[in-house]
Copies of this chain bind each other. A is one copy, B any other.
Amino acid sequence: MNALNISVSAKLYNKNPEETDLGKRILSKSIELMEEMGYEHVTFKKIGLSLESTEASVYRYFQNKHQLLAYLINWYWGWLEVKMAQEFMMLNSAEDKLKRAVELLVLPMDEDERIPHIDEGTLQRLVVAEYPKIYLTKEVDAENEEGYFLGYKRICDTLGNLALQINPDYKYPHSLFSTVISAAQSQQFFTEHLPRLSDAATGRKAIIEFLTEMTLNSIQKR
């Protein structure tokens, strides 16, 4: 039994992978494979093979690769939400909480030993590399109704509410945090692959400073 369980909508799997050994190994291995070779190059056949299992067995847990990615990414947001809640308890001001939230979005993650089958650091890199692919599809409206994007929405809400504590008149809390969160991802990606699209030669610290400044300057009453 896990000491900690992240809940993911039942629409995101055929059969709950957290409930069986094979299921957990599928999660673990697909994070590893997708991060390593990229979403497009992964197939259920390869996942099955590398687990010494079969394609058909992976299909028993997930309808297709897209659903599997959506599951993993929702798991990540769910887990990040838990992390944030934990860290926020130790902080008092909304501003400090927002600053810490930005750090959590950008700093590399340590393995959480309460959840041995998920490598959070690798999963974070996977999210950075693949996140928009789960909503940039023609199926977005249908999948939205199935709860494919709840994890992300909840985090945006939480952070938006903190912003409103600082300035109740701020008009764009949802837009701001969907922007900040996705910028947190893309700036990490750009720093590594398209450096001319960032100014973060100094690495994660610069990304955090950029995002924090942008966030607080946007919210501030003036």
- A175 to B207, Cβ gap below 8 A? yes
Residues of B within 8 A of A207 (CB): 175
Within 8 A of B (CB), among A97-138: 129-130, 132-133, 135-138
Residues of A in contact, count (CB < 8 Å): 51
Interface of A is mostly: helix
- Asked if A53 is an interface residue, CB under 8 A from chain B, the answer is no
CA distance A198 to B209 in the complex (A): 23
- A171 to B210, Cβ gap below 8 A? yes
Contact bitstring A179-193, B, C-beta under 8 A = 1, else 0: 100110011011001
Residues of B within 8 A of A152 (CB): 197
User: Which of B136, B190, B199, B217 makes the CB contact (< 8 A) with A130?
Assistant: B136
CA distance A209 to B170 in the complex (A): 12
Residue of B nearest to A141 (CB): B193
Residues of B within 8 A of A220 (CB): 217
CA distance A137 to B135 in the complex (A): 16
- Asked if A52 is an interface residue, CB under 8 A from chain B, the answer is no
Q: Which of A37-45, A71-79, A88-96 contacts B (4 or more CB under 8 A)?
A: A37-45
